[in-house]
Amino acid sequence: MSKKRYFIEISYNGTSFHGWQIQPNASTVQECLDKALSVYFRQEVVTLGCGRTDAGVHASQFFAHFDLENVDDRAINRVLSGVNSLLPYTVAVKQIFLVHEDAHARFDASSRAYQYHIHFSKDPFKVDRSWLFKGDLNVQEMNKAAEVLLGFSDFSCFSKSHTQTFTNNCNVTAAYFEVEKDGSLIFNITADRFLRNMVRAIVGTMVLVGKGEISIQDVVDIIESKNRSKAGQSVPACGLYLVKVAYPYVGSKE
């Protein structure tokens, strides 16, 4: 049996991790997953993720790909409990499935969706899972500002400074806030790709709109400036979730 490529779908609570990507002297999701897969399959396994989440950021859906040698495809469906038993409770494997040999978890993703959670009153069950905002926000104005994002493609103003990327263009197809039954707020955004720190910087800017500190036109001016220092501060990582990653060939397994 030759080497074959697989996709793995996981979810994780990012509170105790320094992000997805392996880095020296820090606990990361990738390191944790690679170790578990290597132990279970008794061969070195190196995963490549659909993106990089920063320290403290969560994911309810995250894909990675990896290669295996001499593994019976029929046995793959039975590995979930075994691999999960080697992982901490904060990381869960949902499925592992065979893909074509050139499939790429990062480059083949056609869209990604994030949510940012905000709550307004102290709640012990939302610690490290949502951002506690003290004050009032005008959600209607924030939604008007979020709609502005759909008319632009260059989001340099929301990108972490000094990051190496071939382009700061992103195709944002949805961006809106919704109020939950308990009064908490969720920001939803979907795009083909995202820049480093982009969602947290956008939410920080939208909050300024909600507080009445900047106008809708100011948001337009900020985006057109392509200057990170013009936009709002990044909100805390604890409220951010990667919630959906789509692929043209995954279909119902999304």
**Which of 88, 107, 126 is the C-terminal boundary of a domain?**
107
User: Which of 34, 54, 123, 182 does the annotation list as catalytic?
Assistant: 54
Report the DSSP pairing between strands 131-132 and 111-119.
parallel
Greatest alpha-carbon span in the chain: 63
> Cβ contacts of residue 222 below 8 Å, gap of 6+?
157, 205, 214, 230, 231
CB 242 within 8 A of CB 155: no
What pTM, to 2 d.p., does this model score?
0.94
pLDDT along the chain (254 residues), means of 10: 90 97 94 97 96 95 96 80 96 95 96 98 96 97 97 93 77 97 97 95 98 97 95 96 96 52
In a domain, 252, yes or no: no
Q: What is the CATH number of the domain that holds 219?
A: 3.30.70.660
**Which of 81, 107, 133 is the C-terminal boundary of a domain?**
107
> Does residue 154 carry a catalytic annotation?
no
State the residue range of the domain holding 102. Answer: 4-107
